Chains A and B, each alone.
Chain A
């Protein structure tokens, strides 16, 4: 039984090598690569929507109402994914709908991420009264019926894109705060932070130089996941009629419109739904890939699992 398994040489220091390594690894992890692809596509489509869309998404056409997708009887390449009850082009509406998803996702992540990170840093770094105050607030709010709170607000405020971006972070900030506080607490225990405190480095400096770098990877992962859940929340509220209002466009809203025609025009609910699911899936896959690259233990396990594929016997 000679040793036949050679070790693939990977890590050699050097930024370019490291970057090439990360990209290479992303390519090897097909799911992670798919995730990145979906997210890049979303951004590109949202920016280039007017160029990409074959039709004006709001243009109605009485002669082309409820046309099926092109591969079905009665469909044509004029409207590749068919038309809705007012003869509007489904594909163009999906292309333009990506803008709302992207804006809500980014906006909510930016606001909730900032608020949550700052409060988490305050709680974790200062400890004591600040910490217990923030944590008590968090505990209380976690017991709050989240979506119902949105409903109460949306019952008295006219819903719009801006309103969504402002109210969704009311619940979304908490996960960031919990994550950041946790990381800061464990980072505070590490020798280098203790040493920095002993030599009298200023708190701000300690946070920026020593703690924030530790936070980058988990925060990025969380932000991608939360981007996905913000998109889901917007879609759900728009579906309920409490989010984006017509004539604005949103995938959730389009599913709600299609719901009325679910018996004779299945494509109206199907395609916008696929757009949502694909976007969220892409973000989830990308996030789980990020978590693995950021965690040396995870990477080691992946490697070991790869070895087990090549055969081998644990006695």
Chain B
């Protein structure tokens, strides 16, 4: 339904383009530069995983796309374009009001707290249908039942009349997904959608997302710290570190041949079921203080390959291989150290 390309936008313009986005939080301790220049694009029906440890700015990036940055946070520079038109600034305001919540929707990490505890499930879905699709009450009610059925909730007709507290965490996340799909969006942002769930439930939710993505031709921006989650769902990957994107490319390519030492370390520290891993490694050290970010590469203090240049000059995100961008002075030199899974042995 949502995948039909509209005729107004040329096909070579990406669906979503995040361009040198900078977001800062003005706290008492100082200005925290949470996102320091993030750039990536996403095409129709494409899935991208934005991966990084907590505090890397991945969640802030997704919230900026959704227009959810609030004081003390502020977008200080850069642009976010939807089908080629900016969502920011005065001119973007009216446009973004039509786009956000309608063509782009989001689901959050903790399903138990991201639904209004005092409103019936059906009404929470229904208000999206009413506002964005202009449905009247009775057709919204009917559609809400269909949506619950779509996300695999049994007895949807009874369930729409219930409250979130009567549902389990996994079921509430299904409800949140149904709510996000209600506006028939073209892009679904999933911000750590499985982190708060039990492992068995995680698999079910991921399976659901994957199935919906293919069935509906949705573009998906998946935010996660867990490479295992990305593996099954995303074609593309963007690795984030200390507020910057350090590597982008096809997910499989990055897995097998990471270009950035941080991506290499991240892959080496993720348990995988499909590969026999002799030993998991952890990345030594901690991410930098984003109030006073280093002049050079933020990863240099933890990087096994760092040279003097890394401490002094911050590397640009450059296309080293076709469709493969890496921000590292020693991009792909990590190959000399060995495959990521063999690291540390």
Contacts and interface: CB of A to CB of B under 8 A. Distances in A.
B31 A5 contact: yes
A307 B31 CA distance: 11
B72 A7 contact: no
Interface residues of B, number: 24
A294 B73 CA distance: 23
B323 interface: no
Given A3-B24, A304-B26, A307-B26, A313 B74 contact: yes
A315 B77 contact: no
A8 B73 CA distance: 16
B88 interface: yes
A256 B26 CA distance: 53
B28 A299 contact: yes
- Which range contains the number of A residues in contact with the other chain? 20 to 34
B26 A5 contact: yes
B64 interface: yes
DSSP class of A's interface residues: helix, strand, loop or mixed?
Answer: loop
Contacts, number: 60
Interface string B42-84: 0000000000000000000000100101111111110010000
Nearest to B24: A3
B250 interface: no
A303 B64 contact: no
Contacts of A5: 26, 31
Nearest to B21: A315
A7 B291 contact: yes
A9 B29 CA distance: 7
Q: Residue among A6, A303, A313 with the most chain B CB within 10 A?
A: A313
B27 interface: yes
B263 interface: no
B28 A300 contact: yes
B272 to A, nearest CB: 33
Interface string B1-44: 00000000000000000000000101111110100000000000
B87 interface: yes
A7 B26 CA distance: 7
A308 B73 CA distance: 10
Interface of B: 24, 26-31, 33, 64, 67, 69-77, 80, 87-88, 96, 291
11 contacts: A2-B77, A3-B24, A7-B26, A7-B30, A304-B26, A304-B72, A307-B72, A308-B71, A314-B69, A315-B69, A315-B96
